[in-house]
A and B are shown apart, each in its own frame.
Chain A
Amino acid sequence: MTVISDAWAYLTTSSNWTGDKGMLHLLTQQLLLTVTALFIAMLVGLPIALWLGHVGRGGFLAINVSNIGRAIPTFALLALFVTADFPGTAEFGPYGRAGLATLLALALFALPPLITNSYVAVRGVPSDVKEAADGMGMTGAQKFFRVELPLALPLVMSGVRLALVQVWATATIAALVAGPGLGRVITDGFFRTNYGKGIAGAIVVGLVALALELVAAGGQRLATPTGAGGSSSKRDPKGEPGMSAAAPTVAAGADAVGAE
């Protein structure tokens, strides 16, 4: 496989990493883009989802936003934003219109996992714990910040983790509209039949995705109170017997809070 050795050669040539069009620069661009998009999505999505979960209404909305979001291709969204007039001029922001379009598309893309997971997380707090909080005379805000939020945090964090990795992976498609990021290395190599370069880019993106996943997993473990295992799957809060992997985590968290 000459392609693989070409890729290796590209990866080990230091001039491919440094400089204005080097991979390090592109990597930083993409990381910045990913983190900003995730931050915007969290700023918008988390308060809404957590509040809906606290009030216990709007589940239909939360789940459907996620379903509709899944049906809209991010590529189409990105293409629409780039072609439209409204997101400023071509010189707007650090990466131009393509960068801003990518940021918007990615932020929208990150919303569904964030909203669904946070909503389900707050709804999944056992009702006896909530009743106990009421019985202790906690106000709505106290109940939310001292009881529901700590118990929901592990599942909320797993939504953030999911969104982070997905946004990073999806950020590469910015290259399809000549946007910033590592996707450029892939498309450049690909369109100029320099497959080694394309594959080298793909490898770097994949490795960083893996690294992000590990970092996010660590962050999630920090958010999980006392040794309750990470619950990485989102589930509906119906609590059917025999199908509850998320429930034990929340229950274990409840024990931990009770012990403190």
Chain B
Amino acid sequence: MTLLAAAVGAPTSSSADGPTCYSRLTNEWICGQYVKDFRPEIQHATLEHLQITALAIVLGVLIAFPLALVARRYVRLESTVLGVATGIYTIPSLALLPLMVPFTGLSKTTVVIALALYALTILVRAILEGLRGVPDEVVESARGLGYGNTRLLLRVELPLAIPVIMAGLRVATVSTVALTTIGSLVAYGGLGNLIKDGVNSNFRAELFTASVLCVVLAVLLDVVIVTSQRVLTPWTRGGRA
């Protein structure tokens, strides 16, 4: 929201009379009038961007969690799981989306699944590493207190693993926000749609505003995750910045 204010405040050019700052003639990069005139379009794109990112991250976590548990339980499967997850990362996003279209069509689902697959790589590693980092003596004392497998996982291991998992979640979220723009290939790219349109029609204000909004969105989500981590793990406060 601060960005909108900044963008509006920058060049308060000829508002009513004369060509607007986003007209073909001037075609300025930073243009408050554009933000004002195209507000519904920008809002829609931003919300779509947010929705796609959130769905992809949720789906990614839902897939990554059981995978990490399996990899931890069966040591032989670990390298396979990590290998496949890393392998997915080498598939270019521009290639993955077309590959999925025959199955899921030109839809939001296509983008969400593709992004979730990319997030998977980071998330599986983070969850596995987080659970591994739980000190053995803590696990042993919990067992000594009569904790079963499920209760041990939910009440002891998971809370202790949160800092590492959250670090992975931050990386995954920030890169997913950036990657969502590629979804414009199947017309569901959130702000990426505006960027694509901006390139195709040489519309600088649209292009620049959408790009900046992308970065702002990434930073905002990052802050949200860091804040929620601090709320979730009150015992780490004061430990490190």
How many residues of chain B have a CB within 8 Å of chain A? Answer: 42
Q: Say yes or no for A73: interface residue by CB 8 A criterion.
A: yes
**Given the contacts A70-B175, A243-B132, A79 and B207 also touching, CB distance less than 8 Å:** yes
In the complex, the answer to whether B95 meets A73 with C-beta atoms within 8 Å is no
Q: Which interface class (under 10, 10 to 19, 20 to 34, 35 or more) fits A?
A: 35 or more
B185 touches A187 (CB 8 A): yes
Whether the pair A172, B178 counts as a contact (CB closer than 8 A) is no
**A3, A75, A170, A177 — which one has the most chain B CB atoms within 10 A of its CB?**
A75
Check: B3 CB closer than 8 A to any chain A CB: no
Contact partners of B135 in chain A: CB under 8 A: 242
The residues of B that contact A62 with a CB separation of less than 8 Å are: none
Q: Are A172 and B95 in contact (CB under 8 A)?
A: yes
| Residue B32, interface by CB 8 Å | no
User: B residues within 8 Å of A by Cβ?
Assistant: 90-96, 98-99, 101-102, 125, 129, 132-133, 135, 171, 174-175, 177-179, 181-182, 184-185, 192, 195-196, 198-199, 202, 204, 207-208, 210-211, 214-215, 218-219, 222
B95 x A82 contact (CB < 8 A)? no
A144 interfacial contact with B, CB 8 Å:
no
Residues in A with CB closer than 8 Å to B90 are: 165, 169, 206, 209-210, 213
The 10 closest A-B pairs by CB, nearest first: A202-B95, A76-B211, A169-B92, A71-B218, A172-B94, A73-B178, A198-B98, A73-B181, A75-B181, A79-B199
0 or 1 for each of A45-75: is its CB under 8 Å from B? (1 = yes): 0000000000000000000000100111111
Which residues between 171 and 195 of chain A lie within 8 Å of chain B, taking CB atoms? 172-173, 175-177, 183, 186-187, 189-190, 195
Knowing A74-B178, A242-B133, the reply to whether A83 touches B198 (Cβ < 8 A) is: yes
Please indicate which of the listed interface residues A67, A168, A187, A240 has the most CB atoms of chain B within 10 Å of its own CB. A67
- Asked if A1 lies at the interface with its beta carbon under 8 angstroms from chain B, I say yes
